[in-house]
Amino acid sequence: MPDESRTGEGSFKRQPLDKAPTYIGGLDDILEGGLPRGRTTVINGDPGSGKTLLALEFLYRGALAGEPGIFIGFEEPVEHLRQNAATLGWDLSALERENRLVLLGGHIKPDTLVSGDFSLKGLLAAASGKTREMGAKRIVIDALEVALRLFDTPQKVRNEMHLLNDWLQQAGLAAVLTVRPPKLASASSYEDFFESMGDCVMVLDARVAEQIAMRRLRVIKYRGSGFGRNEYPYVITNSGIRTAPISTVGLRHKPLGEKISTGIARLDDILAGGYRRASCVLLAGMPGAGKTIIASTFVAAACERGERVLYISFEESEDALVENVLSVGVALGPHLESGHLRTLASFPEAMGAEEHYIRALAAIGGLSPAHVVVDAISACARMGGRQAAFEYLMRLLNACRERGITILMANQTIGKDDFSEISGIGISSMVDLVVRLAYREDYGEITRLLHVLKSRGSVHSNQKYEYIITDNGIQIMDTYLGERDVLTGTARQVQEAKDRAEAQRLEYDIQTKELELKRLQLMRDQMAEGVARRAAMRDEGASSKRRHESTGSGEEK
């Protein structure tokens, strides 16, 4: 096999680009390692997109990792930066005291504007001194467009841009420039220059879709490096920016594990032992079919084995969930108290799909569960549409399967006979086990049926089973077959009554036949006895005659 590190026929070894990790969750995966060292990165975005936060986090986390940095801001006062960072748990002042971080304000004095003497030279000279003093490795220049608007001619703008570009190249720092795109085409005299001077260019976009706010990140270019080329969701959490690119997730799923109990002995039998560990299980059915009860029964059984479970609920609060399943004999309260069970309950509309996903990942990281339950995935479309729901579920499913976590999803179906898209979201191909819960209406009543539609890598019963919801949970009945289908409820009772009557009739017929046979046998016995008696009488008569004849013959002699 040829050495891929060599090119052409010579022995020159490929040299990867030196990069500065951002230490921002998911972003280094997109950037394939981080931002370029000794080069310039441009972050372009509208107000509220998080440009300043991303750039500051690049500096903050770099300083924590031993790479001092300088922040130059033209828009936000330095003290405001410190206060805003403190809300995220970042102590910038401590880093400043340790000379690992320097915050420089680039606000322009009014008299400087009037005289027209403003230039970036003074600020860059101060930055040069700080760079040498602290051994800086990183620098951020925030809201540069604010300073550039102060120059009255395009030529002055170009001159200052060239000055800045030359300084950055000589400084050899991992540089980040944040800019806001101009609203008017006539104001874009410096925009093209940014695109050309940036070795790495990223665009941050804050948008609203179906009344749900969301943010997206895209890398436009990255000289000398590969990068994720898609558009990626990101969120601003209480600890900084996080993104989770699905396209960087390879198929690294762990193989399905051993069978684990569902918590319902009869269902275990139907599934030839239960669910497979690290599998994706789907419970699909109309409202009231018992999906949450079956899921909660599994949760209780897992917690009783000492395993941890994360229950993601989009339809019930924790208190409502505990109370509702307790009415059928499933006690989740003790497992919440023991720490084996944690719930993550929220309305789907409360945030975008990416924020829901990041929250779920944080909960998984904190709990390290063996199992995750999502109830119900049909509500996920309210996060911002069907595509947003698909992305959320695919990301969550991938995250669970890579960690060997069993994920059980409940889905509320619409039609009684909808087999075409049982998941409702488009993830059916990723599901390992599908248990369908259906209703049947007959004899003026509604009964419930359970049917295993799919069980990847395992045998299972293909029979339909009636089940009932009792005070002690789910009870699966013995199968009762009619002429062409399983009989349930009153139909079953009617058929059972008919079968009992038929059995009684057959028993009566059998008893009648047996009596007739006994009567015939008695008659045969009586006839045989008569024949034997008559034969005995004949034999006795013959013997008596012979004796008489023998006696008479002796007297004559």
Q: What is the pLDDT of residue 187?
A: 47
Residues with Cβ < 8 Å from 546, sequence gap 6 or more?
none
Q: pLDDT of 419-432, one tens digit each?
A: 555 666 778 888 99
Q: pLDDT of 521-535, one tens digit each?
A: 888 888 888 888 888
Q: What is the pLDDT of residue 114?
A: 42
Q: Are 176 and 55 in contact (CB under 8 A)?
A: yes
Q: How far apart are CA 417 and CA 288, in angstroms?
A: 16
Q: Which of 150, 152, 18, 139 is nearest to 71 (CA)?
A: 139
371-375, strands of its sheet edge to edge: 341-345, 309-313, 371-375, 406-412, 280-285, 433-442, 445-455, 465-470, 473-476
Global pTM value: 0.73
pLDDT by residue for the chain (557 residues), tens only, comes to 444 444 455 566 778 899 999 999 889 999 999 999 999 999 999 888 999 999 999 999 999 999 999 999 988 889 999 999 999 999 999 999 999 999 998 766 545 444 455 678 888 888 999 999 999 999 999 988 888 777 767 788 888 888 888 999 899 999 999 998 766 444 455 566 677 788 999 999 887 766 667 788 999 999 999 998 888 888 888 889 988 766 544 556 678 889 999 999 999 999 999 999 999 999 999 898 999 999 999 999 999 999 999 999 998 999 999 999 999 999 999 999 999 999 999 999 888 888 899 899 889 999 999 999 999 899 998 888 888 888 889 889 988 988 999 999 999 887 655 555 566 677 888 899 999 998 887 766 788 889 998 888 788 887 888 899 999 999 998 776 555 566 556 666 666 667 777 677 788 888 888 888 888 888 888 888 888 888 888 878 778 777 777 776 555 54
Domains identified in the chain and CATH numbers: 19-248 (3.40.50.300), 259-479 (3.40.50.300), 482-512 (no CATH)
The β-bridge relationship of strands 212-222 and 200-209 is antiparallel
